[in-house]
Amino acid sequence: MITVAIVFFGLLLLGMPIGYVLGVAGVTGLLQLGGWNFMAMAPKRFFEGLDLFTFMAMPFFILAGEIMNRSGITERLIGFAEALVGYLRGGLAHSNMVASVLFAGMTGAAVSDAAAFGNTLVPAMVRKGYSRPFACAVTAAGSIIGPTIPPSNLMVIYGSLMGVSIAGLFAAGIIPGLLVALLCMAVIAALGRRLRLPKGEGGPSLRLILRSFRSSLLAILMPLIILGGILGGVVTPTEAAAIAVLYALVVGAGIYRSISLQDLGEMLVRTARITGVVFLVIASASILGWWMTFNQIPQAIAAAFLALSHDPQVIIALILGLLLLVGLFMDINAALIILAPVLAPLTVTIGMDPVHAGIMIILALNISLMTPPVGACLFVLSSVTGESIERISAALWPFILVEVGVLFLVAYWGDLTLYVPRLLGF
């Protein structure tokens, strides 16, 4: 265990991509078990780690998000959000949050949301008088709504690996995602006068709301079709993802006529790259995961937690602390794949519902997307806007505190998280 840990953290510190780090650490563990006799397990686990039908949903959701970004649907959703809340003090910041909620029902990826709004809303906010660090901070805080409100690639991974209903996880993510949006909007309202945030012109206009709604109706229908199909039991998440791609293509190319064949080729290449990175992490982590299971490391970690305390409330706090700490330094896909098989059995031991535990773990890792030093959304916004990560992080801390508060509320109030899944019969 010590040798594998040294290899793992040593390669991470040297800057090796996480997919390779996981694979090398796993192979190191296999060599220690029995030399070359165990090496046949590496390719077997590498391919079996990806041999799950539900994983097919991921590239489809990624491609659907790419098409939505390129087709101009993002701008239409932003226009609708502005019509709803743009008249408030800090109106564009509020619009950013509302647009994040609307966009979350399409992409399921925080990085896509951060890139889309970093290119559109951040420059618009700066032109209206917002500081660039604050505009980036609002965008980063809203971006984690994407993988919290369904569809969510992390939920697909967790549900596939742990045998938990993906539709149940999708249903359980709705309330936490909306809570994150509402409380972040409360932070914006609280900071409004102190930061002298610009106030929108005029007041609420029903005519403007209806006009914007009509313009963005086709975009708004997409998440309703996806979620309605999955939660209604009509289609599987994989089938819904494929329908999302078809719908996005029809709207973007056939109705809005804003996508060319060249655009489609670029989007397919980008989807392949993103999917390849995620699948490499999953496959490599499968080798390391088998080695950990063979050595009964998950059971040892669970026993260590239980040795500290048998109180479920304390164990939940320890789990959240571990997830937030690991998320500071590790890619969240890798963290999920490594830690889920360790922590999920522990949550069952203390009596947590599997769907409740899954949402708790996923939300904790989602928050890591906006925390330094390796928060992916921070790097995306920094590269897109030219703002330094340090300045974005300094403006981000009120939102981080609020979202960690939502995390603890979700973790300790199971009935809140499970209300929608129970309502829908999951």
With 0-12 CB in 10 A as exposed, 13-18 as middle and 19+ as buried, what is 327? buried
Q: What is the mean pLDDT of residues 135-150?
A: 89
The mean pLDDT value for 40-51 works out to 80
Domain ranges of the chain: 1-39, 40-423
Q: How far apart are CA 215 and CA 84, in angstroms?
A: 14
Dump pLDDT digits (tens) for 196-253.
Answer: 888 777 677 788 888 888 888 887 887 778 777 877 778 887 888 888 888 888 888 8
Q: What is the pTM of this model?
A: 0.82
Cα–Cα distance, 133 to 130 (Å, whole number): 9
Q: What is the pLDDT of residue 204?
A: 72
The DSSP code for 369 is: G
Structure confidence at residue 397 as a pLDDT band (50, 70, 90): very high
What's the whole-number mean pLDDT along residues 262-282? 84
Give me the pLDDT at residue 36, please.
66
* Residue among 94, 54, 62, 59 at smallest CA distance from 78: 94
**pLDDT tens per residue, range 351-373:** 999 999 999 999 999 998 888 76
- pLDDT-derived band at 406 (thresholds 50, 70, 90) equals very high
Residue 15 CB partners (closer than 8 Å, separation 6+): none
- CA 284, CA 400: separation in Å to the nearest integer? 31
280: how many CB neighbours lie within 10 A of its CB? Answer: 19
How do residues 58-117 score in pLDDT, each as one tens digit?
Answer: 788 778 877 877 777 777 777 888 888 878 888 888 888 988 888 776 666 777 778 777
Highest mean pLDDT among 22-31, 150-159, 400-409: 400-409
